[in-house]
Amino acid sequence: MRLKVIAHKAVPKRPGRSEPRVRKRRPKIYPLMTKSRHELRKQLQTALLISVSAFFGAI
């Protein structure tokens, strides 16, 4: 019953407001990809090689 009453109420005009007020992107735990895929792969491989060589160099 109350829902019908609420649904029939008109929303007043509110100057300066624009709808819909939503977020453009959903929050994610990963950063945005700002470099090309090729550059990022190369960077990842370099970091992996450095960590592997550091691991085996420590033995």
Residue 49: pLDDT over 80 = yes
**pLDDT per residue as tens digits for the range 30-44:** 888 899 999 999 999
Q: What is the residue type of 3?
A: L
DSSP 20-36: ----SS---SSPP--S-
What's CA 55's distance to the chain center, in Å?
Answer: 33
Q: Where are the domains of the chain?
A: 3-57
pLDDT of residue 53: 86
pLDDT of 1-33, one tens digit each? 677 766 676 777 778 777 766 777 778 888 888
